[in-house]
Structure 1
Amino acid sequence: MKFFVPGGEARSSAYRVLVRAQDDVIPFEKLIPGAPDLKTLFLQTDKSVYKPMDTDLLVTHEQGTLP
């Protein structure tokens, strides 16, 4: 999934990502550091079921490079 990061020119110093699946009692939550050129977050899963503490989130700059 790809998410647009709101904020225009002024970006936050941190973003909280919270994902809850239907019928799942444990949500995925992650605090992501903000940056002036952070515009999107890409969230991908490679398993149908994750256990607690199995998380994966990749943050990239607008150009696709890693921070």
Structure 2
Amino acid sequence: PGGMNGREMADAAGDCRPGLPTLFITGYAKTSVLDDCHLRPCTQVLTKPFGLDALAGRVTGLIGADAATRCY
């Protein structure tokens, strides 16, 4: 009660630090809260179940050297 969910926390962090890479991990196949058209830049959604290679690929895509020019 009175707290915030993960989306609200990510939005608050993004307000303080624009371009902050964010990865949402969810067990829901479809969720309007994490709809791609409503996400900030440098934000991705990974749906469970997923393999470690998928997780590594998303993290690398968000924080790798190439991402620095897109997100910061």
**Do Structure 1 and Structure 2 share a fold, with TM-score over 0.5?**
no
- Return the structure number with greater strand share: 1
TM-score range, shorter chain: under 0.3
TM-score normalized with structure 2 length:
0.26
TM-score normalized with structure 1 length:
0.27
- Return the structure number with greater helix share: 2
